Amino acid sequence: MADSIPLPISLPQHPPLLVVVSGPSAVGKDAALTRMRELNYPFYFLVTNTTRPKRPEEVEGVDYHFVTREQFQEMEGNGDFLEHAVVYGYDYGNSRRQVREALARGLDVIMRIDVQGAATIKRLVPDAVFIFLLPPTLDKLERRLRKRRTEPEEYLRLRVHAARLEMSEMDKFDYVIVNEDDALDDTADLIYSIIRAEKCRVKPRQIVV
Ligand code: 5GP
């Protein structure tokens, strides 16, 4: 008997996804996404524009697009941003055009964003996939913040306080991952697993940006 009798149903078509990775500052969003990039996970990694000064280890165009306040305001005036926000005194904004172009090329777009930004994206693009990263404990988060040593002590305390509030937003997300110490590959793999599972949905998400 022939072994190529077609299925009596049509399989769902999955348009590319917008994946939002969020969580408190220093939880490891950037590190997880950098690791995914290193491991050549097949995504379009959206690069945020920011007016924050570059940290020594950061690379322009990879970690952020570092722009002046004037440049940022011009982009904002042109309606370039899908979402933009002031975070700890600096501007951050993601380009709507870049998201649209990547989706049109069939690429899943992955972005990292703070918790308030994720809430904005949820309003604008409710069908995006929302992933929340948690630290294993509060003191481990504080240790990660201190290790970075980029902020003065009072900002550090502010960020720990903000982290407590941000964690209470977790139930607005679709998935939660605890980003354990020295386990970036696991976190990267879990993010990828979530996206693979999303590609098995019977009713695919429809991303409209
Ligand atoms: P940092 O300056 O430490 O790299 O980032 C500060 C916070 O801003 C982090 O929580 C980071 O995820 C967030 N962030 C980065 N890009 C964006 C963005 O485009 N929009 C918003 N709302 N937050 C962002």
Sketch out the chain's domains with CATH numbers: 18-198 (3.40.50.300)
Mean pLDDT value of segment 40-54: 96
CA separation for the pair 167, 186 (Å, rounded): 21
pLDDT of residue 154: 79
DSSP-assigned letter for residue 170: G
Beta strands 81-87 and 18-22, pairing class: unpaired
| pLDDT confidence tier of residue 3, bands split at 50, 70 and 90 | confident
150 vs 200, higher pLDDT: 200
Q: Stretch 170-193: mean pLDDT, rounded?
A: 97
Ligand 1: which of 62, 72, 87, 90 to mutate, judged by most atoms within 8 Å of the beta carbon?
Answer: 87
Question: What is the predicted pLDDT for the residue at 87?
Answer: 84
For residue 68, pLDDT beyond 90: yes
Dist. CA 185–CA 4, nearest whole Å = 39
Whole-number Å distance, alpha carbon 114 to ligand 1 midpoint, is 5
The pLDDT value recorded for residue 1 is 62
Residue nearest to atom 24 of ligand 1 (CA): 113
Residue nearest to atom 13 of ligand 1 (CA): 114
> Which tops the pLDDT comparison, 160 or 110?
110
Give the pLDDT band of residue 57 (cuts 50, 70, 90).
confident
Determine the average pLDDT of the residues in 124-128: 97
Least confident of 58-62, 116-120, 148-152, 160-164: 148-152
What pairing do the DSSP bridges indicate for beta strands 129-134 and 81-87?
unpaired
Residue whose CA is at the smallest distance from ligand 1 atom 5: 25
Q: Specify the pLDDT at position 149.
A: 66
Ligand 1: residues with CB < 6 A are 25, 29, 48, 52, 83, 85, 87, 92-94, 112-114, 116-117
pLDDT band at 48 (very low <50, low <70, confident <90, very high): very high
> What stretches of 29-173 show up as alpha helix (H) in DSSP?
29-38, 69-77, 96-104, 115-124, 138-148, 153-167
Write down the pTM of the prediction. 0.92
Q: Please give the C-alpha separations between residue 203 and each of 16, 90, 194, in angstroms, as whole numbers.
A: 13, 39, 15
For ligand 1, pick from 92, 111, 155 the residue to mutate: most ligand atoms within 8 Å of CB.
92
**Residue having the nearest C-alpha atom to atom 14 of ligand 1:** 113
Of 111, 107, 109, 106, the residue nearest 49 (C-alpha): 111
Q: How far apart are CA 209 and CA 145, in angstroms?
A: 33
- Ligand 1 centre to CA of 204 (Å) is 28
184: pLDDT strictly greater than 70: yes
| Ligand 1 atom showing the smallest separation from residue 93 Cα | 19
Assign 153 a pLDDT band (cuts: 50, 70, 90): confident
Q: Is residue 2 pLDDT above 70, yes or no?
A: no
CA of 146 to the centre of ligand 1 (A): 17
